[in-house]
């Protein structure tokens, strides 16, 4: 079982919140999306993707599924979410360029299955430290991989918002899936790049493990993001393995 907390905020610069999240099946399914493609388009894409992903899993998840089966189920739900975004974009020229990232977690008895498309992230947080589970599908991540820039430089690079995969029309929507075994008291943090670009990994680790309590942890992370200008929407879902 998982215990969950969530927060989303427009930030200090944007006029609309184009992020979306959904928590389903009592916290055993969590998904975070970061939309793009104009004011209306980004909001529609992220909401539609998050709702479709959660709804498709509601239909197909069974209690006895293995982690490998959950990973396949998640991949199917991502494909259905992508189809929903594609179909909606094709109905309206003003929405033709809309798309969204997606990062999700599905709980099983011994951990969680994590899936991602784009640059929204999942972190694994324990007393031993913080580890990024997902790999960004972005231009700067490729540059880091090739040794052109450092990970710290990537956080402030002018091209940091260019992603190489997303849900939407004419995009590469293939997802990556990870099986993350967890112990009781371990955490997952799902978040959009609005948090990643303003809050360091060590700040995330400290607030989750050493802050006053989980209920206020995400609010403190939001305060840090805003202290750094919060130029983008900020969304985070914190998941504790019970």
Does some domain include residue 138?
no
For residue range 17-32, what is the model confidence (pLDDT) as tens digits?
999 999 999 999 999 9
CB 166 within 8 A of CB 46: no
Does some domain include residue 137?
no
Query: What is the full DSSP assignment across 24-38?
Result: EGGGTEEEEEEEESS
Residue 42 tokens, joined? 């980004």
Does some domain include residue 139?
no
Does some domain include residue 125?
yes
Does some domain include residue 148?
no
Q: Which residues contact 48 (CB under 8 A, 6 or more apart)?
A: 81, 84, 85, 88
Alpha carbons 108 and 77: distance in angstroms, whole number? 17
Expressed as residue numbers, the domain containing 232 is 2-132+166-241
Does some domain include residue 145?
no
For residue range 39-92, what is the model confidence (pLDDT) as tens digits?
689 999 999 999 999 999 999 999 999 999 999 999 999 999 999 999 999 999
Does some domain include residue 216?
yes
Does the structure show a pLDDT above 80 at 114?
Answer: yes
CB 35 within 8 A of CB 98: yes
Q: Report how many domains make up the chain.
A: 1
CATH number at residue 48: 3.60.40.10
The model's confidence at residue 104, banded by pLDDT at 50, 70 and 90, is very high
């Amino acid at each position: 079982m998982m215990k969950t907390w969530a927060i989303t905020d427009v930030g200090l610069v944007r006029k609309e919140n184009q992020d979306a999240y959904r928590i389903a099946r009592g916290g055993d399914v969590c998904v975070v999306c970061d939309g793009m493609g104009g004011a209306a388009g980004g909001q529609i894409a992220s909401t539609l993707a998050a709702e479709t992903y959660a709804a498709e899993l509601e239909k197909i998840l069974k209690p006895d599924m293995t982690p490998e089966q959950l990973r396949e189920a998640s991949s199917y739900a991502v494909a259905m979410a992508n189809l929903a975004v594609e179909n909606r974009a094709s109905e309206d020229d003003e929405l033709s360029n809309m798309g969204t990232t997606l990062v999700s977690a599905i709980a099983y008895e011994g951990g969680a299955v994590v899936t991602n498309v784009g640059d929204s992230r999942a972190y694994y947080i324990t007393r031993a430290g913080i580890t990024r589970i997902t790999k960004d599908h972005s231009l700067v991540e490729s540059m880091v991989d090739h040794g052109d820039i450092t990970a710290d430089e990537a956080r402030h690079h002018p091209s940091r918002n260019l992603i190489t995969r997303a849900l939407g029309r004419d995009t590469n929507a293939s997802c990556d899936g990870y099986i993350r075994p967890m112990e009781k008291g371990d955490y997952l943090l799902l978040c959009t790049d609005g948090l990643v670009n303003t809050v360091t990994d060590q700040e995330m680790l400290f607030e989750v493990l050493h802050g006053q309590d989980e209920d206020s942890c995400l609010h403190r992370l939001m305060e840090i993001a805003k202290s750094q200008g919060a130029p983008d929407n900020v969304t985070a879902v914190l998941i504790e393995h019970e």
